[in-house]
């Protein structure tokens, strides 16, 4: 109540919060993207292979992921796969991070 009255009195504030919404859906910062790529190689790569061609974990190449729904891959990275070696990453990665990593894989990583 109090907040909405404040917003009504200060239209600038409402506009500012609208402008923040697209920012929240945007990609991670360039610095965060570099960190995520490092994590993909060092941590994910320790199981999935430095070039994502598989190891203890399955390959995560373009071919290997073909036809797999983006949402289910996001769920796997977020929560892991209970009963397998695949850990969940939600303590380290937020939704935007996970989505960015999955998109990187779905575009084919590493790029030829
Ligand atoms: C300790 C080993 C290990 C690490 C570290 C690991 N994974 Fe996995 N991952 C696995 C295993 C094993 C599976 C297969 C689980 C199963 O049998 O369903 C898997 C499955 C997956 C899948 C689903 C693949 C498919 O074909 O459905 C994705 C996507 C994935 N991992 C991404 C990642 C990402 C991204 C990271 C790093 C943030 C990561 N993994 C780190 C072991 C690992």
Quickly list H helices, the chain.
Answer: 2-9, 11-25, 30-39, 45-48, 62-65, 70-79, 95-106
Query: How many Å lie between the centroid of ligand 1 and the Cα of residue 65?
Result: 12
pLDDT confidence of 17, banded at 50, 70, 90?
A: low
What local confidence, expressed as pLDDT, does residue 12 receive?
Answer: 57
Q: Is the CB of 98 under 6 A from ligand 1?
A: no
What residue ranges define each of the domains in the chain, with the CATH number in brackets? 28-106 (1.10.760.10)
Q: Is the CB of 44 under 6 A from ligand 1?
A: yes
Closest C-alpha to ligand 1, atom 16: 84
Contact indicator for 63, 53 with CB cutoff of 8 Å: no
What local confidence, expressed as pLDDT, does residue 1 receive?
Answer: 47
Query: How many Å lie between the centroid of ligand 1 and the Cα of residue 57?
Result: 6
pTM beyond 0.75, yes or no: yes
**Per-residue model confidence as pLDDT tens digits over 34-67:** 999 999 999 999 999 999 999 999 999 999 999 9
Residue 42 burial (C-beta neighbours within 10 Å; 0-12, 13-18, 19+): exposed
């Amino acid at each position: 109540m109090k907040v909405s009255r404040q917003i009504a009195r200060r239209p600038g504030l409402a506009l500012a919060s609208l402008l923040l919404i697209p920012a929240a859906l945007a990609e991670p910062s360039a610095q965060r993207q570099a960190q995520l790529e490092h994590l993909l190689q060092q941590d994910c790569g320790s199981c999935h292979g430095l070039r994502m061609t598989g190891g203890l974990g399955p390959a995560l190449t373009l071919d290997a992921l073909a036809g797999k729904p983006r949402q289910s891959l996001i769920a796997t990275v977020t929560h892991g796969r209970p009963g397998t070696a695949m850990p969940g990453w939600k303590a380290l990665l937020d939704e935007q991070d996970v989505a960015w990593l999955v998109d990187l894989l779905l575009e084919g990583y590493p790029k030829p």
